[in-house]
Structure 1
Amino acid sequence: MNLAFLASHGGSAARHLTGACRAGELDAVPVALISNNSRSPALAWARDAGLRTAHLSGAKYPDPEALDAAILNFLQDVGADLLILSGYMRELGPQVLDAFAGRVLNIHPSLLPRHGGRGMYGDRVHLAVLEAGDSASGATVHLVTSGIDEGPRLAQQEVPVRPGDTLETLKARVQAIEGELMLRAVRELVAELRPIDAPP
């Protein structure tokens, strides 16, 4: 199974999964990374790691349909079988979602369905957890569909919200579990799926 990543900033999930593949902990091959941010550390890291890379953004493709088609063409060209959103801050278009239905994963920094949906990402999620007075938070790996954070949940892990927690302390606690949670979900999905171009 060939893994492709989409990242806007650091790409921590891409780095963790690539390391797992190369350590023999995940039966998959990391092949490519797309970023909408030409200055993202993830893009520089991916080049150094030997992955094929592409900067595909609304600045280069102002027409959303053209951007969607460009992303799909690149993914098909590299032979991607599974897409991992690694802090990707754009919505995927219908062409990519249709071509990779059931094969796009994202990790969200809360216990979905709590604190999900449009506009809920990054620090905003952790602040919402704290403001709600929740006793627990965590992370959720889910399949990506056209609805924001609405796809089927594949894996979820809880962490406590402790008295006196700040944005920084809660964020650090959630981020500490994200890599292994994503790895577990990807490992299970890889075992279930066949490569896209595999004979029936």
Structure 2
Amino acid sequence: MKKIVVFASGSGSNAENIIKHFKETKIAKVVSVFTNNPNAKVIERAKNHQIPVEIFSKNELLERNVLQKIQEINPDLIVLAGFLLKFPENIIELYPNKIINIHPALLPNYGGKGMYGIHIHRAIVNNKEKETGISIHYVNEHYDEGAIIFQANVALTDQDTPETVAEKIHELEQKHFPEIIQRLLSE
């Protein structure tokens, strides 16, 4: 069975959706969740599914501690699902095309440092965009610049607020992220 490691920093709704999806399909399994936030709701979500959780500091991520734990697991895919720190180059180099991220906008627009969550949705509404969406991409050494694997879009109206945009994006993430992970693991 293929092994998935998920990195998340917040609520973990995407992480939990991935965990549930692969429990049903039995193609792969989320074997560990890594988080840099000791107060993240993802910890509780993972533990509810008996998934081990690794909590680490930014320094531990940049040093070898996190890399060593990843190497012990030897995952087939590393999935960033709402992980807010820049991923270290030493890990990226060891796992080429094995680390993916989901971004709540249509890259290359609204990507880069500081562009996450409600900040993106607010910018999209302020710029009166007619559509937005999600991008699933490989992780490289730059924020949100890795090769795009998949995009899905959704129409916006003048009545949309950052909160309604967030809801639309969340629906796309929940539908497509597990499917794309499954496709990548099957290739």
Asked if these proteins are the same fold (TM beyond 0.5), I'd say: yes
Select the residue among 84, 89, 101 that pairs with 1:89.
84
Q: Which residue of 2 is the match for residue 144 of structure 1? A: 139
The separation in 2 between residues aligned to 1:163 and 1:45, in whole angstroms, is 35
Q: Normalised by the size of structure 1, how large is the TM-score? A: 0.88
The separation in 1 between residues aligned to 2:116 and 2:173, in whole angstroms, is 14
Q: Which residue of 1 is the match for residue 21 of structure 2? A: 20
1:12 offset after TM fit, Å?
1.7
Q: Which residue of 2 is the match for residue 132 of structure 1? A: 127
Instruction: Tell me if structure 1 keeps the 8 A contact 2:79–2:100.
Output: yes
Flag structure 2 segments of 5+ consecutive residues without an equivalent: none
1:184 offset after TM fit, Å?
2.1
Following TM superposition, where does structure 1 have runs of at least 4 consecutive aligned residues deviating by more than 3 angstroms? none
- Structure 1 pair 153–140 and aligned structure 2 pair: CA distance change class (3 A): same
The separation in 2 between residues aligned to 1:45 and 1:92, in whole angstroms, is 23
Identity %: 25
Instruction: Tell me if structure 1 keeps the 8 A contact 2:76–2:185.
Output: no
1:79 offset after TM fit, Å?
2.7
User: Counterpart amino acid of 2:90?
Assistant: Q
Flag structure 1 segments of 5+ consecutive residues without an equivalent: 193-200
| Aligned residues between the structures | 186
The separation in 1 between residues aligned to 2:163 and 2:44, in whole angstroms, is 26
Instruction: Tell me if structure 1 keeps the 8 A contact 2:80–2:102.
Output: yes
Q: Which residue of 2 is the match for residue 155 of structure 1? A: 150
The separation in 1 between residues aligned to 2:5 and 2:108, in whole angstroms, is 26
User: Counterpart amino acid of 1:6?
Assistant: F
Q: Deviations over 1:80-135 (max 9, x none)?
A: 22111111111111121111110111111111111111111111111111111111
Secondary structure at the counterpart of residue 87 of structure 2:
coil
The separation in 2 between residues aligned to 1:166 and 1:65, in whole angstroms, is 37
The yes-or-no answer on 1:42 pairing with 2:45 is no
Instruction: Tell me if structure 2 keeps the 8 A contact 1:156–1:181.
Output: no
Select the residue among 162, 166, 173 that pairs with 2:168.
173
